[in-house]
Structure formats: C-alpha cells, structure tokens
Chain A
C-alpha cells in the first residue's frame, strides 16, 4: 500500500520531474491553472486532431479536469464542481497525451490504453472525490472561458485553483490505486 502521511503541494503546470516523482496514493493540493473538458469538448478536440487542425488550447504540460459544474450563484466564481467519471473520455485521451498533456483529474478507473500511454508519454492521473463538489469549488478562484461557449457547462474553461484537493490514482509508472488499494486492504485483513 502506498501509504503517504504527507500532503504535497503541487504547482501547475506540471513538470516532467514532478510527474515522475508522484506515486499512486500521494495526497496532493494543486495550485495554478488547469483546463476543463468532458465528453463533448473531447469529441471536438479529437475531430480537430483528425483533420490536422490546431486545438483552441495548447495542451503541452497542461492538466485537464473532467467536470460539468452546476451554475454559479451570484458572487461565486463557479457552481459545485466535482469530477465526472473519467472512463467516458478514455477513447479520446491517448492523442492528447501524445501532445504533451501531463495531468488528468477525474474519478474512476482508466483503460489499459490510457495507462500505457501515461507510462509512455509521462503523465499522471489524479482522482478528485466524487460528491465533494462544493468543497472542490472553494479551491477554484477564477474561471475563464477558453473555447466552445455553446457547450455551456461542457465548454473548455481555464480554472485557477488554490489548494485543490486530489489523490494520485495512477502514476506515470502505471501503479493504479484502484487496483492496489482494494487488494492491499483485503490482504491486510487476512
């Protein structure tokens, strides 16, 4: 079990060195800028890549957060903003990793293809706690629309975060807490 008592501060955008140093099970707090994208935005990005056209965002070294927030109340930067299930983005993720995407934040398991590409290109997958949506929203201090305004909550936003709570679920070596966590816990009980 990757048992880490410390909570690490991680600055965004990620560096190759930071990505290499993170381990599945690390508890982190993120600081800096990340981009949001989920199903519809991923589809549009994939279509652009297929046509050899430039993307609206340069993803080199960047981190994507899979989220579709609730509407912002007056006086708030953003509504409740917890993660959506990552598996739905799996088919469209490997090309983005090839372009230099270094971090992904979501919840739930990833496919073998995505994990292999994370190892090959050097990327890390963080899980944010599903249903901790109001808590997570507190760490989002700025939200700027970047692309696809017509997609509403599914548009690409640049979020500035401070103290964003996350856990390294899959590291760049391919260690997967979704597999090892339950296995280690069961073994510990025997």
Chain B
C-alpha cells in the first residue's frame, strides 16, 4: 500500500486554491482571446479586453481574479491502494482551504448556517467535498472556487421522457436567458442530466470544470453541446450582458443512466472566471 500523509494533502489543497484564484486556466484564457477576436460588438470587445487584462494582472501580481473568491468545491479520487496517515482526509482538506483563504488574502464568504445564523466562519470553510474510490494508488484532487453570482443563476428541472431532447434544450436556453447579465457573461454552462436529481447536480458542477475545448466523448452529446453553444451565442446577451456575440465560452454536458420515468436536469452556470485546478498526489 502506498502512503500519503494528511499534511501533504493540506499543502496540496492550499496550493491548489491559491493558484486557482490567481491564475486562470490556459483553456479559459484561450477561449477568451478567441471570442474577443470574434466579438462584433464594440462594448463586448471592451468588456472582454478588460477581462483578459484583468487575468494578466491577477497572474502577474498574485491577486484574486475576482473579489468573490467563492466557495471551495473539491472532487477527490482516492486510489483504493492508497493509505492516508497522520490525520483525517476531510480535516486535512478543510485545513488546506483554510490556509489558502487566510494566508492568501482571499475573501471569506462562507456563513455557518444559511437560514438561522449567518455568522461568517472567518476562514471560508467548510468546503464542499465529493470523494470517489478508484483503482490504483494515487490521489487526484480537482478543486474549484465557485463564485455565487453565477451559482445563483443555476436551475434544475424534472423533465419527463416525452419532453426529451427538445425539452432539455428549451430548459437550458431559458435558464441562460433568464440569467441575463447576472452571472457575468461570458459564461461556462455545466449541465448534468439523468440519474437522480442530486447526481445530476453533482454532474453539472463537474461539467463546469471540464477543460474548455474538450467535447463530450459521445458524438451525440458533443453535437448537442455545440448546438446549444451556438444557440446561446445567438441570444445577444453578450459580455457583461450589454449586448454582443459572446454570451458563452462553452457548454459541457455530463450524463448518467437514468430512471425510465424521469430525466432530472441541472444547469450549473459558471462565470468567465472559471477557476479550477487539479493536483495528483
């Protein structure tokens, strides 16, 4: 059995969230540059130009790309031949998040109880953690800093089988249209479909962190992703919602086999500051 320690995990998680907040992924950068060239609205070009310049400044000076440094969400794959020593996995992860957000001058945006006691926890914990046991002896940590301007624009629906693909497309487009300028377009649209409602939601979040420019491996889903991206970019919402071509940088769909009686769909919207990183231990 291969061993890793809790402090190693803490260190990796801290590095992950610092980097995610300062340095936008190269896939997002490339998508923004490409869309800036294609953008035909003068205001749209101005907005995209500011975003691109912002990301350069943030990376150079190690400043947060956006002041909403988000709620931390992690997807952790743990090899079944891996042994963790020196502490609990979840505690180690929370400590990594805590250190990133306190030592990295990131904003603390988490309150301890959503309804009855909205006292700030002071360290941006707890993070939301999903774990999976997989073959092998590595630990793969994928983390995202999820901002809430966009999270608040996410929606879910219990589609019926008869509503099918057309109902699916209508729901996605309606969600983006209703969101308008609020999620800071250009957006990344993550969609989860099938399974149970909770599975679809988790898939949607997972879909937001896929590398832009990577289509779904199944042709029908890849085509659907493309079709939706085109339709979204015909809505005219544009960068910052002020009108233009570039409303979305990417549409990613993740599916799971589902029940004969229903098709849960969750549309998770992410802004252009799609901040995520991966570390393999």
Which listed residue, B51, B105, B240, touches A72 by the CB 8 Å rule?
B105
CB distance from A72 to the nearest CB of B (A): 7
Q: A27-B46, A80-B65, A82-B66 are in contact. Are A177 and B243 (CB under 8 A)?
A: yes
Docked complex: A82-132 residues within 8 A CB-CB of B: 82, 84-85, 87, 107-109, 127, 129-132
Which of chain B's residues have a CB closer than 8 A to the CB of A85? 149, 182
**Which residues of chain B are within 8 angstroms of A68 by Cβ–Cβ distance?**
67, 107
The size of the chain A interface, using a CB distance under 8 A, is: 49
How does the 8 Å CB contact mask read for A158-169 relative to B, with 1 for contact and 0 for none? 000000010101
Say whether B41 faces chain A, with CB atoms less than 8 Å apart: yes
Pairwise interchain contact A70-B238, C-beta atoms closer than 8 A: no
* Stretch of B52-60, B158-166, B212-220, B249-257 contacting A (4+ beta carbons < 8 Å): B52-60
Residue of B nearest to A70 (CB): B107
B-side contacts of A5, CB under 8 Å: 42
Q: How far is the CA of A81 from the CA of B58 in the complex (A)?
A: 12
Contact among A79, A134, A177 for B43, CB-based, below 8 A = A177
What B residues does A71 contact at CB under 8 A?
A: 105-107
A15 is an interface residue with CB less than 8 A from chain B: no
Interface flags, B233-254, vs A, CB<8A=1, else 0? 0111110111111000000000
The answer, yes or no, to whether A1 is at the interface (CB within 8 Å) is yes
Most central of A25, A108, A189 by chain B CB within 10 Å: A108
With A131-B51, A183-B236 already in contact, the answer to whether A137 and B63 are too (CB < 8 A) is yes
Q: Which residues of chain A have C-beta atoms less than 8 A from B240's C-beta?
A: 107, 127, 129-130, 167
Please, which residues of chain A bring their CB within 8 A of the CB of B61?
134
Q: Is A135 at the interface (CB under 8 A from chain B)?
A: yes
Residues of B near A184 (CB, < 8 A) are 243
Q: Mark B104-137, 1 if CB is under 8 A from A, else 0.
A: 0111000000000000000000000000000000
B268 at the interface (CB under 8 A from A): no
Contacting residue for A182 out of B47, B68, B237, CB 8 A: B237
A78's nearest neighbour on chain B, judged by CB, is B67
B180 within 8 A of A: yes
A74 to chain B, nearest CB (A): 9
The reply to whether the CB of B184 lies closer than 8 angstroms to some CB of chain A is: yes
- Which of chain A's residues have a CB closer than 8 A to the CB of B50? 129, 132, 135, 165
Q: Which residues of B contact A180 (CB under 8 A)?
A: 243
Report B-chain residues with C-beta under 8 Å of the C-beta of A134: 54, 57-58, 61, 63-65
For residue A183, which residues in chain B have a CB less than 8 angstroms away from its CB? 236, 243
Cα-based distance from A80 to B182 in the complex (angstroms): 19
**Which of A80, A153, A181 meets B58, CB within 8 Å?**
A80
Interface membership of B271, Cβ < 8 A: yes
Say yes or no: A167 contacts B43, CB within 8 Å.
Answer: yes
Q: How far is the CB of B236 from chain A (nearest CB, A)?
A: 4
Known: A85-B182, A129-B51, A135-B50. A69 touches B241 (CB 8 A): no
Query: A185 contacts B67, CB within 8 Å?
Result: no
Least CB distance from B12 to A in Å reads 23
Smallest CB separation, B258 vs chain A (Å): 34
CB distance from A52 to the nearest CB of B (A): 29
Q: Does chain A have a CB within 8 A of B181?
A: yes
Contact A185 B105 (CB under 8 A): no
A137 and chain B: residue at smallest CB distance:
B63
The CB with the most chain A CB atoms within 10 A, among B51, B64, B69, is that of B64
Task: Report how far A134 CA is from B39 CA in the complex, Å.
Answer: 23
Q: Least Cβ distance of B67 to chain A in Å?
A: 4
What distance in Å separates the Cβ of B47 from its nearest Cβ neighbour in chain A?
5
Which residues of A in the span 141-165 have a Cβ within 8 Å of any Cβ on B? 153, 165
Indicate if the CB atoms of B182 and A82 lie closer than 8 Å.
Answer: no
Structural contact, A79 and B63, CB atoms closer than 8 A? yes
Roughly how many angstroms separate A90 CA and B244 CA in the complex, as a whole number?
Answer: 26
Residues from chain B with Cβ under 8 Å of A129 in the complex: 47, 50-51, 54, 240
Between A and B, 18 residue pairs with Cβ closer than 8 Å are A70-B69, A70-B106, A71-B106, A79-B63, A84-B149, A107-B181, A130-B149, A131-B184, A132-B51, A134-B64, A134-B65, A135-B54, A153-B107, A178-B241, A181-B242, A182-B235, A183-B236, A189-B236
User: A27-B46, A80-B65, A185-B236 given. 11 additional CB < 8 A pairs?
Assistant: A69-B67, A69-B107, A82-B67, A108-B182, A109-B180, A130-B66, A132-B53, A133-B58, A178-B241, A180-B243, A181-B41
